[in-house]
Structure 1
Amino acid sequence: MIGDRRILAIVPARGGSQRLLAKNARLLAGRPMVAWTLEAARGSVLIDHLVVSTDDPAVAETAAEMGWPPPFMRPDHLSGATASVIDAIEHALDQVGGRWDYVVLLQPTSPLRTASDIDQAIRLCDETGAPAVIGVSPLPKPPSFYGRVDAAGGYTPGGVDLERTVVINGAVYVGRPEILMRDRTFQSKGVRAYSMPVERGWDVDTPAEFAVCEALFPFQAVEPT
């Protein structure tokens, strides 16, 4: 909580995945991948309440073992590959009820983000009055690696404003529920960026990305406390 502002965190963790089967429950550095996001949320000093939105019994079991409230089991129309994360957030808001000043979306596919990242993103949204904050990371290669390919296949170096170009990393989203539900996106006019290093913003969607993430994982994370 910040002052009298109430903060709800939502962890969307459906069971299906087209590129990495059951990835949210897959063991990463000794724990189900979703557990690392739940652990980071536990370390937040600002989150007032957290809910897990899932259709996967394995994810629900992990959340229960960690002492979190029972997850909201998604209806079938929110469980397929075409399910919208905004629809899942709306469903969770309807299920939990009450008044919330901020919604924090924590995707389990970003297991390297920290509790500090979560709290700094929330504070950035609150202090700036922005409708939302989105976690971003710089491009993974230095500017000299980028260029353009023309229609004939020719390569020209540069030509891109790399000093200001970033990628949305998926690690943390903060939004004001009324604006989020109105616009159906975190990218409303006035959205602010919370900058993170590439390593903490790593997003897992494929077996190769999973392997890299495990290699990036801090050694001490293998032995959870």
Structure 2
Amino acid sequence: MKPKVLAIIPARGGSKGVPRKNIKVLAGKPLIAWTIEEAKKSKYITRTILSSDNEEIIQIAKEYGCDVPFVRPTELAQDDTPGITAVLHALEQCEGYEYVVLLQPTSPFRTVEDIDNCIEYTINQQAKFCVSVTEAEQSPYWMYTIENGKMKPIIEQDKLATRRQDLPNVYVLNGAIYVARVEDIIEKKTFLTEETTSFIMSNDNSLDIDTVLDFEISEYLIGKS
């Protein structure tokens, strides 16, 4: 029998970089709608809910078929509120699930295949935590700090690689998918632990919208597809 999976879409009202970012229109529909629609296609997600403090976001999410069982308290939706706080609050309101999936609305190119493959991988591996990553475009092996005008490598190496092909593959969090067993996320209060496994996503599906330029790039990419 398939485990019960709760998907949480966090979308607070405040956004300094891009005003009203979560409901800003991208290619004809609000940004948050891209995530809601893919989550609703999932064969593993039992229930998809919104966690928001903002009435406008709540109404738009409902229009696209997202469940909104509560309004997030204002004190849990501040600029300095840790992201995990919204997850733990939602789990207190919605009990009875074995796995939780966090789907941030700023990843419009994340597909239902990405979501389901990540959940399936987590379950099959009996992992406590799993996060989506993508191959880094900039290698930390070629990164430096500058001290007194001198270059100092972030990663010490016996011999500096001069070709990218000679560098190890490195990965970065893309912010698209976070999965955890509910009992473990409640205990650890973080998705990132020594036991966290990784789910690799393509760079094409990993764009995370944080700026106006990101929106413009996304519009262009969707127009090309």
TM-score bracket relative to the smaller structure: 0.7 to 0.9
Q: Distance in 2 between matches of 1:28 and 1:149?
A: 37
Q: Deviations over 1:176-218 (max 9, x none)?
A: 1111111111012221111111121111111122222222226
Q: Deviations over 1:140-187 (max 9, x none)?
A: 25x699343542244876499952311100000100111111111101
Q: Is the 8 A contact 2:51 2:68 kept in 1?
A: no
Q: Distance in 2 between matches of 1:162 and 1:126?
A: 32
State the shift of 1:133 in Å.
Answer: 0.8
Higher Cα Rg: structure 1 or 2?
A: 2
Structure 2 residue aligned with 1:28: 26
2:180 counterpart of 1:175: yes
Structure 1 residue aligned with 2:100: 103
Q: Give 1:53's match in structure 2, choosing from 27, 35, 51.
A: 51
Distance 1:147 1:87, change over 3 A: closer
State the shift of 1:104 in Å.
Answer: 0.3
The code of the aligned residue for 1:53 comes to S
Q: Give 2:215's match in structure 1, choosing from 207, 210, 214.
A: 210
Q: Is the 8 A contact 2:2 2:44 kept in 1?
A: no
Calculate percent identity across the aligned residue pairs. Answer: 35
Q: Give 1:133's match in structure 2, choosing from 104, 127, 130.
A: 130
Structure 2 residue aligned with 1:223: none
Q: How many residues align structurally?
A: 216
Distance 1:155 1:213, change over 3 A: farther
Q: Distance in 2 between matches of 1:200 and 1:218?
A: 15
Structure 1 residue aligned with 2:156: none
Distance 1:149 1:67, change over 3 A: closer
Q: Secondary structure at the match of 1:59?
A: helix
Structure 1 residue aligned with 2:78: 80
Structure 2 residue aligned with 1:188: 193
Q: Is the 8 A contact 1:54 1:71 kept in 2?
A: no
Which stretch shows the higher mean deviation, 12-21 or 154-163? 154-163
State the shift of 1:84 in Å.
Answer: 1.8
TM-score, structure 1 as length reference: 0.87
Q: Is the 8 A contact 2:10 2:51 kept in 1?
A: yes
Q: Distance in 1 between matches of 2:91 and 2:115?
A: 19
The code of the aligned residue for 2:187 comes to R
Q: Which runs of 5+ in 1 are unaligned?
A: 221-225
